[in-house]
Amino acid sequence: MNPQEAIRALSALGISQSAIARDIGVSQPTINRAAKGGDIRFSTGQAILDMHARSLALSDAKLPATLNQMMPQIPTNDQSGKPSVHPSSSRRSAP
């Protein structure tokens, strides 16, 4: 990944160029130049990549909770402790 791609990914997360600039200590026009593939200092590019890596780490930390929220709550046993059977899943074969 290069700084231009990292800026695009950060923008997709809703992080503005101004916020990126503030976070890494450069001006917004510098971030804009990097976003367009222009020349920037190596240290600026590395700082952009580091910010992107931090955002991925934060996203990954939130991922399990998000997946748990998306997964349906499927009961595995009824009150008697026997496996639950949904009426539509119990098919009888024709005699």
Mean pLDDT of 28-57: 94
Mean pLDDT of 39-62: 87
The pLDDT score that the predictor gives to residue 89 is 46
- Domain of residue 10: give its range: 3-66
Count how many domains the chain has. Answer: 1
Q: Does residue 9 register a pLDDT over 70?
A: yes
CATH assignment of the domain containing 52: 1.10.260
Distance (Å, whole) CA 31 – CA 7:
8
Q: Tell me if 34 is assigned to some domain.
A: yes
Q: Tell me if 52 is assigned to some domain.
A: yes
Q: Tell me if 35 is assigned to some domain.
A: yes
Distance (Å, whole) CA 81 – CA 87:
18
Q: Tell me if 77 is assigned to some domain.
A: no
Residues 60-77: tens digit of each pLDDT = 655 555 545 555 555 555
Q: Tell me if 56 is assigned to some domain.
A: yes
How many residues in the chain?
95
Q: Tell me if 93 is assigned to some domain.
A: no
- Token reading at 91: 């098919």
Q: Does residue 34 register a pLDDT over 90?
A: yes
- Residue 90: pLDDT band (50, 70, 90) is very low
